[in-house]
């Protein structure tokens, strides 16, 4: 399943994010805000269980999340999506994966994770603002599946059609939630119109 947001707030914030005049401080703020809005959509089918609580008026049957959520940011750029999502799901675990794209070959290079022996989460929300060729996300999904995670959702900000096609072919069981699906990749693997380099723009390293 591929979900592309049609929400006016998301579209408005995305336009500011894409603007090359937007500076890192506002860029980071927007990555978090749009990430949180996408998280809200991606969590809409998570299971809940009935609990009984006491309001000041009476006992009342209410719902609480019945699944252990893991936020899995892909370093570096996915880091900017964590804090705003963590505020919405405060008991989520955060597991980091390190991945960069070789600039010549565009192939993903996996360089970090520190997973426990057994998986401790039921659902992984894999976070990266950019889904370009899809190589990085697909390789992280491979690793999450190897760890033993049963349910994985990818949450991004901007995707290229090429990246979506690659993910759907390699991991059809992974739902994809993005703020926008753009036109295409250019000759050096950047998303067009895109926003440039999401890591550099967040961390001021352009």
For the annotated catalytic residues, the residue numbers are 101, 105, 197, 200
126 binds ligand PRP (CB under 6 A): no
Of 4-23, binders to ligand URA (CB under 6 A) are none
DSSP readout, 68-87?
-EEEEEEETGGGGGHHHHHH
Q: Stretches 53-61, 94-102, 118-126, 173-181: which one binds ligand PRP (CB under 6 A)? A: 94-102
Q: How far apart are CA 61 and CA 167, in angstroms?
A: 40
| Residues facing residue 130 across a β-bridge | 158
Count CB-CB contacts under 10 A for residue 199: 20
144 binds ligand URA (CB under 6 A): no
Residue closer to ligand PRP by CB (options 68, 143) is 143
CB of 10 to ligand PRP, least distance (A): 19
Q: How far apart are CA 188 and CA 101, in angstroms?
A: 11
> Would you tell me which residues interact with ligand PRP (CB under 6 A)?
74-77, 99-101, 106, 108, 128-137, 163, 189, 197-199
């Amino acid at each position: 399943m591929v979900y592309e947001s049609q929400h006016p707030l998301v579209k408005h914030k995305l336009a500011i994010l894409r603007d090359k005049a937007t500076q890192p401080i506002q860029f980071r703020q927007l990555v978090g805000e749009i990430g949180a809005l996408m998280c809200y959509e991606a969590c809409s089918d998570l299971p809940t269980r009935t609990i009984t609580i006491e309001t000041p008026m009476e006992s009342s049957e209410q719902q609480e999340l019945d699944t252990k959520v893991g936020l899995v940011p892909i370093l570096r750029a996915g880091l900017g999506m964590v804090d705003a999502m963590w505020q919405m799901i405060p008991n989520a675990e955060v597991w980091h994966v390190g991945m960069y794209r070789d600039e010549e070959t565009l192939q993903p290079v996996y360089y970090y994770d520190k997973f426990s022996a057994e998986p401790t989460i039921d659902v992984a929300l894999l976070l990266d603002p950019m889904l370009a060729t899809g190589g990085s996300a697909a390789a992280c999904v491979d690793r999450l599946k190897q760890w033993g995670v049963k349910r994985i959702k990818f949450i991004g900000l901007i995707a290229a059609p090429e990246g979506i096609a690659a993910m759907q072919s390699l991991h059809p069981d992974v739902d994809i939630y993005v703020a926008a699906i753009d036109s295409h990749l250019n000759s050096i693997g950047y998303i067009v119109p895109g926003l440039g380099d999401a890591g550099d723009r967040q961390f001021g390293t352009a």
